[in-house]
Amino acid sequence: MSLPPLPLNNFEDRLREVLRSKVEFIELIGEDLASAGGKRLRPSLVYLAMRALGGQDEQAHDLAVAAELLHSASLLHDDLLDNADTRRGRETAFRRFGNVVSVMSGDYMLSKLLVLLSGLPAAVQPLTRAFGETASAICEGEVLQFQVAAYGEYSLNTYLEIIRGKTGVLIELAVIAPALLLQAPSEQLEALRQFGYEYGLAFQMQDDLLDLASDEATLGKPVGGDLKEGKATYPVLLLLSGPDGAEVRQILERRAAEPGDVERVRTLAESQGAFAASLAEIERRSRLAVQALAALPASPAREGLESLALLERQRVR
């Protein structure tokens, strides 16, 4: 299965229009976003969900832009919090322009998101609420991640809560936004919500797995970043409950600061089957996502959503 053609050129034109500013630095960051290309996952999900519900692409443009603005604003803030040098192989905005410009540009994107939502019909107030609740959940997920690392209170339930807040809620939002706009039947809304929940977890689990199991050339950034921030991802959680758990916890607590720490955890994860178990869990979540879509009528758009979920296990960056 493959994705049907999507109007991503129209999306990028609208994104540029929304981010237009008389301030050069904001324009530059906005242009970086508009010209970034890549998967455009969240806009693609918006268009596919809209089509799967029988809606038109024209109804989805502003929803796609709004979802991308929320995502991009969170990334600008996230890069600063993580002190990241690169994202997708390019220098991060705060390294280029400084902390103030990066943070305020992220806030500018959020303000433009509010303007877009204000133009929606009053009858779809639940859509505005959904964007607000998603923004809150992203903030809570990011802060919870730092809290868990600070206290060393690692658990699977907390990990799932963190990754849903960091990533999952935005994927959920992208697929339920068209349903809220179209006031779709409740069973279709809940089907998309469940798809977004499972796919969102699978997506972030794959990101976390790649952070430890991939290489810098493929990933576009140094590997082991989560370990260096004291973050216990799915394969590391499996190691913590294994025979070398005490050693892995020590590496986490010292933020993988000693030479060879990251490689040691990679070796343990490979030899003890943590990588394989992580891939199996990603595949399980992806299939649950596909199963959730059975409530929607068969269509190329539904097949496109299914394809995205099923391909998650093979994603390399």
Q: What is the pLDDT of residue 260?
A: 97
| Contact call for residues 201 and 163 (beta carbons, < 8 A) | yes
**Burial, 226: exposed, middle or buried (Cβ in 10 Å; 0-12, 13-18, 19+)?**
buried
What's the mean pLDDT in 291-309? 97
Lowest mean pLDDT among 61-75, 76-90, 173-187: 76-90
Q: Is the pLDDT of residue 137 over 90?
A: yes
Per-residue pLDDT tens for 71-106?
988 888 777 776 677 666 667 777 777 777 788 888
User: What superfamily does domain 8-314 belong to in CATH?
Assistant: Farnesyl Diphosphate Synthase (1.10.600.10)
Whole-number percent of the chain with pLDDT over 70? 95
Concatenated DSSP letters of 142-205? HHHHHHHHHHT---HHHHHHHHIIIIIHHHHHHHHHHHHHHT--HHHHHHHHHHHHHHHHHHHH
Q: Is the pLDDT of residue 63 over 60?
A: yes
Q: Write down the pTM of the prediction.
A: 0.91
- Top-ranked range on mean pLDDT: pick from 217-226, 254-263, 307-316: 254-263
